[in-house]
């Protein structure tokens, strides 16, 4: 079973060991007049999804490069070194940089894990299962008084209240990439540093990814219509979804983007040369079958 990068579980002891599903009920309410208001934002450990970054960088009117440099810190999501990003906090203070005296200064664009709290989401792919499953867990931290409020609500209705379904939908393909990568293990070869760089670009650095899509190198390889290219130049969400398809193509060979025939021929020759260099280790420098 693989867990999700969307976990926001600061201390394992805070996690209630009961799997919850959409119809299950929790007792919880968070509101502005509660005594612990903002306490949870003063000690954060928040992983960001690609759609979180898209929303935040647009809200703050920054490029993705600027946003990543100012507000995030990289980390490895798993033992293979899959790159992730978290919100950066000061060295001596774990408060969220978006916390203001009045509360969250980016509330309408707050990240997925902030929306879910005090639920943790785990997307799982059970062994031999072809599909992913979502399960939820209650996080009970001492400072959070929301659990003492009398309101009960189903997990499904809580998701609606927090407008989280849209975020999940936007990140679904990306989560599939991570789960597939983890469940495929070593059978598809060890990903190279270049694959991880490409994963980072397609996942988190949307504006630089757009420059790549606009480049001559890209159009020499991929066969997109002028209309498709134009949309990718102006529409962030379309670009993000295209990036996920391209990542699936590059990492797993799931071909959904047309490749120019002469580029395919050239790549086949390059692959042949690589295998000739080290016939005992054809997975060396593995970049995936779908072309970058
Ligand atoms: S983004 Fe907003 S809700 Fe999330 S931790 Fe920061 S201040 Fe709190
Ligand atoms: S009730 Fe919990 S989630 Fe709400 S402000 Fe207090 S600590 Fe944060």
pLDDT score at 216 = 94
| Domain finish residue from 181, 208, 243 | 181
pLDDT attached to residue 198: 93
The pocket around ligand 2, CB under 6 angstroms, is made up of 30, 34, 36-40, 117-118, 143-146
- Distance (angstroms) between ligand 2 centre and the Cα of 102 equals 14
With respect to residue 286, please indicate whether it lies within any of the assigned structural domains.
no
In whole angstroms, what is the distance from residue 274 CA to residue 203 CA? 28
Q: Judge if 84 and 216 occupy the same domain.
A: no
Residue nearest to atom 1 of ligand 2 (CA): 146
Instruction: Judge if 143 and 193 occupy the same domain.
Output: no
120 forms beta bridges with 137
The residue among 127, 146, 181 that closes a domain is 181
Ligand 1 centroid–CA 96 distance in Å is 6
Q: Report the run of H or E that residue 167 belongs to, with start and end.
A: helix 165-184
In a 10 Å sphere around its CB, with 0-12 CB exposed, 13-18 middle and 19+ buried, how is residue 130 labelled?
Answer: exposed
Task: Find the helix or strand (DSSP H, E) in which 121 lies.
Answer: strand 119-124
- Looking at ligand 1, which residue's alpha carbon is closest to its atom 8? 41
Structure confidence at residue 132 (pLDDT): 72
Mutate to test the pocket of ligand 1, among 95, 99, 107, 113 (most ligand atoms within 8 A of CB): 99
Residue 31: the pLDDT is 94
Task: Quote the domain boundaries for residue 234.
Answer: 184-277
Write down the pLDDT at residue 283: 41
Q: Which residues of the chain have pLDDT under 70?
A: 1-13, 125-130, 184-190, 264, 267-292
Question: Which residue puts its alpha carbon closest to atom 2 of ligand 2?
Answer: 144
Q: How far apart are CA 21 and CA 8, in angstroms?
A: 17
What's the pLDDT score for residue 14? 78
Whether residues 122 and 207 share a domain: the answer is no
141, part of any domain? yes
- State which ligand 2 atom lies nearest to the alpha carbon of 38: 5
Helix (H, G, I), strand (E, B) or coil at 134: strand
């Amino acid at each position: 079973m693989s867990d999700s990068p969307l976990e926001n579980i600061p201390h394992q002891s805070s996690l209630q060991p009961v799997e919850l599903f959409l119809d299950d009920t929790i007792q919880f309410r968070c509101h502005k007049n509660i005594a612990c208001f903002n306490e949870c934002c003063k000690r954060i450990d928040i992983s960001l999804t690609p759609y979180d970054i898209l929303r935040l960088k647009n809200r703050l009117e920054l490029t993705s490069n600027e946003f990543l440099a100012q507000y995030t810190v990289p980390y490895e999501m798993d033992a293979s070194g899959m790159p992730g990003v978290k919100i950066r906090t000061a060295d001596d203070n774990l408060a969220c940089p978006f916390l203001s005296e009045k509360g969250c200064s980016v509330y309408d664009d707050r990240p997925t894990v902030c929306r879910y709290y005090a639920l943790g989401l785990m997307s799982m792919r059970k062994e031999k299962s072809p599909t992913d499953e979502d399960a939820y867990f209650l996080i009970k931290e001492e400072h959070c008084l929301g659990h003492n409020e009398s309101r009960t609500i189903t997990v499904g209705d809580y998701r609606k209240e927090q407008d989280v379904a849209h975020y999940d939908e936007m990140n679904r393909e990306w989560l599939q990439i991570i789960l597939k990568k983890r469940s495929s293990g070593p059978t598809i070869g060890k990903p190279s540093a270049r694959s991880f760089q490409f994963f980072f670009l397609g996942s988190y650095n949307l504006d630089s990814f757009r420059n790549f899509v606009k480049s001559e190198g890209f159009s020499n390889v991929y066969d997109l219509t002028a209309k498709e290219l134009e949309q990718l130049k102006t529409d962030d969400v379309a670009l993000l979804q295209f990036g996920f398809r391209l990542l699936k193509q590059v990492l797993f060979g799931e071909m959904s983007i047309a490749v120019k025939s002469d580029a395919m021929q050239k790549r086949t020759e390059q692959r042949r040369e690589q295998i000739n260099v080290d016939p005992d280790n054809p997975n060396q420098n593995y970049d995936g079958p779908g072309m970058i």
